[in-house]
Amino acid sequence: MWTKKQLQETMKAKMTDYLLVVVSNRQPYSHVFKSGKVICQRQPGGVVTALSPVLEATNGIWIAVGSSPFDRQVLDSNSKVKLPPEHPSYELKRIFLSKEELDSYYYGYSNEGLWPLSHIAYTRPFFLTSGWEAYQRVNKKFADAILEEVGNQKAFIWVQDFHLALVAKYLREANCSNIITSLFWHIPWPNSEVFRICPQRKELVEGLLAYDLLGFQIRYHCDNFLQAVDRELESRIDREKMSVSFQNRETFVRPFPISIDFQAISKEAESKEVASELERIREEFALGDKKILVGIDRIDYTKGIPERFRAIDRFLEKNPEYKEKFVFFQLGQVSRIHIPRYKQLNDELNELAVEINWKHSQGSWAPIIFTRTYMSYQDILALYRMADVCFVSSLHDGMNLVAKEFVAARSDLNGVLILSQFTGASRELEDALLVNPYDIEAFAGTIVQAFHMPLEEREKRMRKMREVVEQNNIYRWAGKVLSQLLKFEFQEV
């Protein structure tokens, strides 16, 4: 089984001759002003968890977008800062974007175009020419930053996600034979019927085929990508090797299901601090001894939160005897609020929560607690620990790590995971209760099933899911990708 230590030792032994460069839109650490001073704050997410130790072991470089004035203040003359703050061992190079670039490249083309295109959640994508032009400029800016750092060294460039599909194309144009490139596409890749509505589909596919290695969450997304290539380009696809030959070069396509740091989450979830937070949350929200249903999401139209609310409504219509016996606690992190579709979703959720609570409330009890209050990761672990049921009801998701975090937090082998069949996680967590979030009637029935599940069955299901997540952890994900990269041969520089 891969561990953090094993990953570090393996990469330290095998990558001594190579520079590792991780490239992402989101940075691993940000600098913020708190209590009268600038502090360095780690960003959330599995990618940071997995790749920071690899970069520490290899003295690599992370290139990402800086987001605040304080991010600028700590940089050296080369726009870099040493990380992590407690034992600096790799460098973060920050790129800064103008407001126009953020609006057009990030909020525009990436999040109003590629995001809804890739997630079949029936939100119409918008592709503006100005957005595409900004997307190209920013990708070129990333490529230039990479070239500046790499020079003539042999380097592995590992690019993260859909914001940076064209980076390898610009690196190829610089004729650098000392660079091997990989991109991991974290979100779903749509089927060809959906993908063909993108006006720049051919340019995107050509850009991605400039990479040596492409990673997707599951085999289905790999197959969708190969189908898109088949439709859009004159190329040779080898489905047995899972590769594409285009313009005299070969790109390998592989599924690499991302995961979490199972051991770290499991250990922290058992801590006294989390137990203390659990009691505080119970008292603050007057949860008492009621059954607790939990949803923890970024507020996004792909996450199926309205469908979840409607399932609670239908559950109570059919089972009024459960009134006052449970509370559904939905924690939502607001995001991209100035994009109209996200503001519309926030308004919809507010209205639904008010309507359902008014309809079913009795005395001081209401079924839904919907909060956007900031909660620390220890608070979130406390919610996982107290939950009788955890909802992950995405309409479409590349993986969904909330499902895996919930499983990792439940060393007590209790709790039931209700999981959408449209998540990548459903391929691995077969012992969850799988639902179609669009089928509200069946969804409501699954809540009944969760409430009535015997303890022995809950423990059996949770034990099997924990074994899967422990084995397929975040370090195995990073190790598999980097091991694949090490199979490539560099040409003479």
Q: 410, 409, 438, 406: which is closest to 425 by C-alpha?
A: 406
> Taking residues 280-293, what's their average pLDDT?
95
Summary mean pLDDT of the chain: 95
CA distances to 42, 113, 157, 396, 474 from 187, rounded to whole Å, are 23, 13, 20, 9, 16
> Taking residues 102-127, what's their average pLDDT?
96
pLDDT of 244-274, one tens digit each? 999 999 999 999 999 999 999 999 999 999 9
What's the distance, CA 171 to chain centroid? 26
Query: Residue 493's pLDDT band (boundaries 50, 70, 90)?
Result: very low
| pLDDT for the residue numbered 172 | 95
What single letter denotes the amino acid at residue 143? A
Q: Which residue shows structure tokens 């975040």?
A: 474
- Hey, which of 49-53, 376-380, 437-441, 488-492 has the most confident mean pLDDT? 437-441
DSSP labels, 124-187: -----HHHHHHHHHHHHHHHHHHHHHHTTS-EEEEEESGGGTTHHHHHHHTT-TTEEEEEE--S
* Domains, the chain, with CATH or none: 4-259+475-485 (3.40.50.2000), 266-470 (3.40.50.2000)
pLDDT of 90-109, one tens digit each? 999 999 999 999 999 999 99
Dihedrals φ, ψ of 319, to 5°? -135, 65
What single letter denotes the amino acid at residue 317? E
pLDDT at 447 over 70: yes
pLDDT of 37-92, one tens digit each? 888 988 877 688 788 888 888 889 999 999 888 999 999 999 999 999 988 999 99
pTM: 0.95
pLDDT of 317-376, one tens digit each? 999 999 999 999 999 988 888 899 999 999 999 999 999 999 999 999 999 999 998 888
Query: Residue 276's pLDDT band (boundaries 50, 70, 90)?
Result: very high
The span from the CA of 303 to the CA of 25, in Å, is 22
Residue 9 structure tokens: 């030792």
The span from the CA of 427 to the CA of 242, in Å, is 20
pLDDT at 29 over 90: yes
User: For the chain, what percentages of helix, strand and coil (3-state, to nearest 5) are there?
Assistant: 45, 20, 35
pLDDT of 395-421, one tens digit each? 999 999 999 999 999 999 999 999 999
Q: 362, 404, 406: which is closest to 386 by C-alpha?
A: 406
CA distances to 96, 113, 128, 443 from 135, rounded to whole Å, are 14, 11, 11, 39
Dihedrals φ, ψ of 181, to 5°? -120, 145
Helices (H) and strands (E) in the chain, counts: 19, 18
| pLDDT for the residue numbered 491 | 60
